[in-house]
Amino acid sequence: MKTVDLYKKAGKKVKVKLYPNARHEILNEPIKKEIYQDILNFYNNSLFV
């Protein structure tokens, strides 16, 4: 993943999570509760440090 590599080389903290079989509208997928929880966890761990 070129973008991830570029950010890492620039010294940025990068975390990637892929959702198998999910498409471009991930918030409308059957696993949307998991995705919303991941977003909430990201906010809590990143914004309120």
Tens place of pLDDT per residue across the chain (49 aa):
899 999 999 999 898 999 999 998 999 999 999 999 999 999 998 886 6
SS3 of the chain: helix, strand, coil, percent, to 5: 55, 0, 45
Whether the full predicted model's pTM is greater than 0.75, yes or no, is: no
The mean of the pLDDT values for the chain is: 91
Judge whether 18 and 29 are in contact, CB under 8 Å: no
How many whole angstroms separate alpha carbon 9 and alpha carbon 38?
A: 25
